[in-house]
Amino acid sequence: MAPSGAFLSTLLARFLGAGIGGRVKVLDIAAGHGLYGIALLRENPQAEIVALDWPKVLMVAQENAEAVGVADRFRALPGNALATEFGEGYDVVLLVHFLPDLDPTTCERLLTKVHAALIPGGQAVVLGLIPNEDRVSPPTAAAFNLVMLATTGGGDSYPFSELDRMFRNAGFDRTELHDLPPSTERVVIAHR
């Protein structure tokens, strides 16, 4: 996952305009290797990241932050995204490749917590293989649908309309869908 994470994290950080600067507090949910939050730290010297994941996973993320010299702005928050308190005051919450693991009801419960953690005007950012409304295109996202069907109890590869509905049910004002070329990934930005 790290090689694709290194590539996609840089694309995402640049897409979000992280290099513009300014003080930004980011929560990275299910941070894994931490590369998505770390890319924001590398692009913006005033950003700080709170990375949430299981304790042993966060050890890898911490090592990655130390390796690139941003550990002073990287804080680990060990726990479960559904049970751990996030705190508040975040400008951005990253949800990278995570919502497909969850059923719609659990997604909405998580997104309600995300909404409460964001400042007014804050953004939740989803990165993933988001299929078109027909659910069979583009091909990579359609194949991912089969993986989710086979490997999760209730997860799904949600098209934008379903993500939009879940975000709105969680209290968000509006959502946007963007491509992230040259990758096949897409970005959904939900505005509080």
Residue-wise pLDDT for 62-73, tens only, equals 999 999 999 999
Single-letter amino acid, residue 62: Q
Q: Is the pLDDT assigned to residue 146 strictly greater than 60?
A: yes
We report the CATH number of the domain holding residue 114 as 3.40.50.150
Q: Specify the number of domains making up the chain.
A: 1
Residue with tokens 């992280």: 18
Beta bridge partners of 92: 26, 123
Q: Which domain holds residue 33?
A: 2-191
Please provide the size of the chain in residues: 192
Amino acid at 187: V
- pLDDT greater than 80 at residue 141: no
pLDDT at 52: 98
Token match 């490997």: residue? 151
At 155 the pLDDT is 74
The tens digit of pLDDT for each residue in 6-51 reads 889 999 999 998 767 789 999 999 999 999 999 999 999 999 999 9
